[in-house]
Amino acid sequence: MLTSRTTSVIVGLLLLASFVLSAYYGINSVSAKPDKEFYLFTTEIAGVDEEKLKLPGDGFSIPTLVVNKGDNVTIHFYNVDPNVAELHSFTIDSPYSMDVSIAGGESKVVSFIADHEGIFQYYCKYHLPVMVGQLVIIS
Ligand SMILES: [Cu+2]
């Protein structure tokens, strides 16, 4: 005969098992291709004398973004320059064809499905050839 203590232990174990199983199947049923989220900041490369080198000294905080083909990609792009007039862009040519410009202190969210495999350069159209990165999409 079951005591009330034994019964509550069994009920507790069943609840724990159902929680573990639902968490397991919940995670696995979300998607075979998980979302990828990045926080991408503008940077200034220390020590670059722009006048002397005749080059911009700007960059992206992440030089290489790696995702899987089919991923739902979200990039939170921040222009951290204190000067509002200092524009930066997140630009990629065809087939992704994105071009987002933001002023100093602003941010924007860029979202896309990574449906083309390959290596694609992203760049800031105001600070070429220095401010570039690679978007790597693997299958
Ligand atoms: Cu820039």
Helix (H, G, I), strand (E, B) or coil at 115: coil
pLDDT at residue 122, as a whole number: 98
Are 65 and 98 spatial neighbours (Cβ–Cβ below 8 Å)? no
Cα(15) to ligand 1 centroid in Å equals 54
Sign, Cα dihedral of 24, 76, 81, 125:
positive
Residue 21's pLDDT band (cuts 50, 70, 90): very low
Cα(68) to ligand 1 centroid in Å equals 26
Average pLDDT over every residue of 93-116: 97
Q: What is the pTM of this model?
A: 0.75
Q: Name the CATH code of domain 36-138 (choices 1.10.357.10, 3.40.50.620, 2.60.40.420, 3.30.413.10).
A: 2.60.40.420
| Per-residue tokens: 126 | 């105001």
- Is pLDDT above 80 for 27? no
Nearby residues for ligand 1 (ion, Cβ within 5 Å): 58, 88, 124, 126-127, 131
Residue 101's pLDDT band (cuts 50, 70, 90): very high
Least confidently predicted of 2-11, 25-34, 85-94, 103-112: 25-34
Rounded-to-integer distance, Cα 99 and Cα 25, Å: 39
